Structure 1
Amino acid sequence: MLSSVPERKMLYVRSLLLVAWLTLIMSLFWDPYSAGLTGPVKETSPLSVAHHAVIVQGVELRVEPYALGTRVFWTIVIPIMPLFLIVFGHEAWRRVCPLSLASQIPGLVGLQRYSRKVERRTGAIRKTPQVMSRQSWLARNSWYVQFGLLFIGIVARILVINADRKAMAIASLSIISAALVTGFLWGGKTWCNYFCPANIVQKIYTEPGGILESHPHHLRPKLPQSMCRKATADGDIGACVGCVANCGDIDLQRAYWSDVLDPQRRNVYYMFFGLIIGFYEYYYLYAGSWDYYFSGVWTHEEGIWEKMLKPGFYLFGQAWPMPKVCAAPLTLVITCTLSLVLGRTLEKLYRRWRSRDNSKSEILTIHHCLTVASWSSFNCFYVFGGQPNIILLPELAGRVIDIIIVVSSTIWLYLVVHQNPCRYQHESRTRTAR
């Protein structure tokens, strides 16, 4: 959708989003204003603590007026992202992502590592950005590495980052710093392809294409989709350094079909569904009721550090002795494992059912399983994601949001299920023959 927008304009957009993110981070250290909207005297405000009476582990949780930074980020900014991904697609996100800009800053200011290569014919020395070896352990296991980082981040959210403003600010700055360091060490989109935890979410919700994704195999543009590019006086030029094979920024469908049978991809898709289930289920297992989650009090809970060693489960009207620091990751490990087993089992059953038709390929079998897993994860997320704020809206507004989510995911499911590699190859050949 944004593939034809000049790089200079998109650089401004990414810069604006990065500045907005940094501003939000700074507000986590100092925000003397927004807490006034949540004080008990502001009874007309839906965010006022006067409306909060949440029972956690059988005891009413004390709620003080709070700054809104964490609530805005976790219940507004984050819930918008999956819908953006599924509608506008991979190329739009890659061209606006502020973390992508952070990883490119070293190259933009000339602080990137380069390797020198001698041209055989001319003897000229050519400098090229360093790239990670595609045979390295990290490149071969990037799916598991990024999912592992995402898992650690989700556990950290439950334990500390959800509610502790400074911890969230430090975590955000650490991620931005990691992107900067990666951009210094390697060129291209190494951060995006090998390290960024959000890349897992992006792949699951956009591949083999978002609803409004462009199709470079139809048009053969000079600079397809979100391909790395550089702005010049004569217009944009390609700046690909070959950081990954079958790059999704050049042709997302080709990258997807070439990698769809990778066992790592399948395992991560199935475990991601369990990660979502476990993340939201833990709020109930911890508090003993759903009021704790839907009230949004977890975005500003007091004494979060002290509670890490207190009981992490409250079931059947009593606290269980396992500390929260162990209970949270254990819950996620169990749900990820169960969803992996469920996904693999359903995949085998579907393969057996399709085996009656000899014309059906293994690629399509896996593609259908991954598509359903993505669709299920998306809709499961929105049963909970953003709801602490959505329930504060007028009922009609909440219904409209629900309809938009369901319609968008259904359209995406229909479009993606009907994609297949033979159709992709046929469309590519047809365009080439013209």
Structure 2
Amino acid sequence: MINKFSEQQIDRFRKVLAIGWSLLILLSFYDPVSRWLTHPDNLDSPLHIDPSVCVLVQGECLQQVSYVLAPRIFWGIVVPSSIIILTVGGHDTWRRICPLSFFSQIARSLGRGRKVKKVNPVSGSVKYEPAAVTKDSWLGRNYLYLQLLLFYLGLNVRLLFANGSGLGMGIFLVATITAAVVVGYLFKGKSWCQYFCPMAPVQVFFTGTRGLVSTDAHLDSAKLTQSMCRTIDPKVGEKSGCVGCQIACIDIDVQLNYWQHAKKSDRELLFYGYFGLMVGFFVYQYLYAGNWDYYFSGAWSHDPNQLSSLFSPGFYIASHTIDIPKIVAAPLTLIICASISYYAGQMTERVYQSYLINRGKEIDITEIRHHCYSVWVFLSFNTFFAFILRPSLKILPESMRFMPTLILLGLSFVWLLQSLKRSEDRYAQENVTVGLLKQLKKLKVNWQKSLKGRSLEDLNDKEVETLIKSLPPRYSQKIKR
């Protein structure tokens, strides 16, 4: 769907989002309006702090003070919106509109970028070419592990420094944007998106084989598929800007990338460990405060003690503090939860495999893993929104608070059913069928008449095969399989 929009349209939309991000960052450093809206004395504001409400943190009432809204908006609205876009619109939609992707391409759009010397081994001539990440380099082979590490560090930064601190969030986002710009200068193509971005594993995870309304690249006749890199030539218009920075690029064909990497250990770590990282993030806030009210009330978004409590006790369990500093307790909780989730995922896979063996069915490890991955994505999506929406749903009438969760549950269930129907064999067969249809269209045959009003595009895989077998020899000999 997103590939139907021109690059000029998408570029304008990216710029609007980038400006929105920049404004939010500015507001995280200085925002007198938010402090006025949230001030305890401003009784006319629905966002004002109620000083009579006691949110217990480690047995003591949290100090209620006015605060900036930027962290609440970014973590509570912007981030959840990106997850919905990924699951519904797919990786291709998010990648084309992502503000970080926009920032990473600034050097490229200005015609700047690091170049390296290349010597022709035959002629000895020297030329300078844009630097690239090679597939045989350490980064080319291990980029997903690096991105998962950066994502893990990002979660810790949020828990410890940026969750409820406007200053902490502002510094964190400025540092991330700066990193994207620098990487975009150092390496050609979308190297930031492909090899460094901490959100890239999240994109892979929640998209799976495709988004709910994505366009399948292998079935699309357009030359520029999905989130493929594009440039605008004044003479020929929009054209591919691909520099070949990655083999089986997810921006060109999401499903091809998914199936080629499904059995790799880095994808196994991502799909089985992500759930634990997410649950650990929410659970830690309970383990730190000693109750769920700290998170569900939204008090985390304006905790005045976030930065000053880094070396205070990080756990409060059964009304007792545990003298492990918060700066250690948070990373430890995430690691433990991710490890439990990872091994639970592997166990699920083995149980499912044993079940299929007992039923006498053929074993295809890729299909088994794909089914397990899809279920874990479904569980993660709904668990995430069960937590993330709670602080914001309080503004709705109590009778309507269940509706957003129910809608998202329905969307994710449809996504799950769609995903479970996909398989590597089906993808391959569809590729073959598309190739055969292209050849059939070249034959001088009135297909509307032969198919009694139907077009070639209306035929399924089996019907295409049957049609080719029924063709006269003068036509069938022209078809190459």
TM-score by length of 1: 0.96
Change (3 A) 1:224 1:341: same
Q: What SS class does the counterpart of residue 320 from structure 1 fall into?
A: strand
Instruction: Tell me if structure 1 keeps the 8 A contact 2:151–2:199.
Output: yes
Name the CA distance, whole Å, in 1 between partners of 2:59 and 2:147: 37
Counterpart position of 1:319: 321
Match of 2:189 in 1: 188
- Aligned: 1:392 with 2:392: no
Q: Give the 5 Å matches for 1:280-429.
A: 280-356=282-358, 357-429=360-432
Looking at CA atoms only, which structure, 1 or 2, has the larger radius of gyration? Answer: 2
Amino acid in structure 1 at the alignment position of 2:410: V
What's the counterpart of residue 85 of structure 2? 84
Q: Is the 8 A contact 1:128 1:241 kept in 2?
A: no
5 Å matches for 1:160-171? 160-171=161-172
State the Cα distance separating 1:336 from its structure 2 match: 0.8
Partners of 2:213 and 2:20 lie apart in 1 by 26
- How far does the alpha carbon of each residue in 1:73-120 deviate from its partner, in whole angstroms, 9 at most, with x for none? 111111222111100111110110010011111011011124577999
Q: Report if aligned partners of 1:219, 1:431 keep a CA contact under 8 Å in 2.
A: no
Match of 2:200 in 1: 199
Between the aligned partners of 1:345 and 1:44, the Cα distance in structure 2 is 54
- Greater mean alpha carbon deviation, residues 39-48 or residues 284-293: 39-48
Shift of 1:398: 2.3
Distance 1:14 1:167 in 2: 25
Q: SS of the residue aligned with 1:271?
A: helix
Does the 8 Å CA contact 1:261/1:363 hold for their aligned counterparts? yes
Deviation readout 1:315-343 (Å, 9 max, x if unpaired)? 11121211111111111111011111111
Q: Does structure 2 conserve the Cα–Cα contact (< 8 Å) formed by 1:273 and 1:336?
A: yes
Partner residue in 1 for 2:149:
148
Query: 1:205 touches 1:374 (CA, 8 Å); kept in 2?
Result: yes
User: Aligned AA for 2:277?
Assistant: L
Number of the residue aligned with 1:236: 238
Instruction: Work out the CA distance in 2 between the residues paired with 1:130 and 1:80.
Output: 34
Counterparts of 1:179 and 1:259, CA distance in 2: 25
How far off its partner does 1:135 sit? 1.1
Q: In structure 1, give the amino acid aligned to 2:193.
A: C
The reply to whether residue 260 of structure 1 matches residue 262 of structure 2 is yes
Distance between the aligned counterparts of 1:229 and 1:236, measured in 2? 7
| Alpha-carbon distance, 1:127 to partner | 6.7
SS at the partner of 2:310? Answer: helix
1-side partners of 2:226 and 2:305: how far apart? 46
- Counting only pairs closer than 5 Å after superposition, residues 126-137 of structure 1 correspond to structure 2 as 128-137=129-138
Distance in 2, matches of 1:123 and 1:427, equals 47
- For 1:129 and 1:374, the matched residues in 2 are separated by 37
What's the secondary structure of 2:222's corresponding residue? coil
Cα distance, 1:123 vs structure 2: 12
1:246 corresponds to which residue? 248
Shift of 1:297: 1.2
Deviation at 1:58, TM superposition (A): 0.9
* Separation of aligned partners in 1, 2:44 and 2:23: 28
- Say which is worse superposed, 109-118 or 185-194, in terms of deviation: 109-118
Residues 279-314 of structure 1, C-alpha deviations (whole Å, 9 max, x = no match): 000111111111100111111111322211111111
Q: CA deviation at 1:160?
A: 1.2
Q: Percent identity?
A: 37
Task: Indicate yes or no: 2:53 matched with 1:50.
Answer: no
Distance in 1 between residues matched to 2:242 and 2:141, nearest whole Å: 20
Which structure has more relative contact order (CA 8 Å, sep 6+)? It is 1
CA deviation after TM superposition for structure 1 residue 368, in Å: 0.7
Report the alpha carbon displacement of residue 69 of structure 1 after superposing the two structures with TM.
1.1
- By how many angstroms is 1:427 displaced? 1.0
Tell me what 2:479 maps to. none
- What residue in structure 2 maps to residue 5 of structure 1? 5
State the secondary structure of the residue aligned to 2:50: helix
TM superposition shift of 1:239: 0.8
Q: CA–CA distance in 2 between the matches of 1:126 and 1:90?
A: 36
Instruction: State the TM-score, normalizing by the size of structure 2.
Output: 0.86
Q: Which moved further from structure 2: 298-307 or 192-201?
A: 298-307
Q: How many residues align?
A: 434
**Alpha-carbon distance in 1 for matches of 2:212, 2:198:** 23
Classify the secondary structure of the residue corresponding to 1:312.
strand
TM superposition shift of 1:220: 2.9
> Does structure 2 retain, via aligned residues, the 8 Å contact 1:94–1:100?
yes
Return the alpha-carbon distance in structure 2 between the equivalents of residues 241 and 125 of structure 1. Answer: 20
Q: d(CA) in 1 for partners of 2:435 and 2:111?
A: 38
| Residues 103 and 290 of structure 1: CA distance in aligned 2, closer, same or farther (over 3 Å) | same
Q: Is the Cα–Cα contact under 8 Å of residues 86 and 206 in structure 2 kept in the other structure?
A: yes
Matched residue, 2:275? 273
Paired amino acid for 2:292: W
CA separation of 1:214 and 1:117: change in aligned 2, threshold 3 A: farther
- Measured after TM superposition, the shift of residue 355 of structure 1 is 2.6
Match of 2:19 in 1: 19
Q: Which moved further from structure 2: 416-425 or 353-362?
A: 353-362
Paired position in structure 1 for 2:140 = 139
Separation in 1, partners of 2:182, 2:273? 29
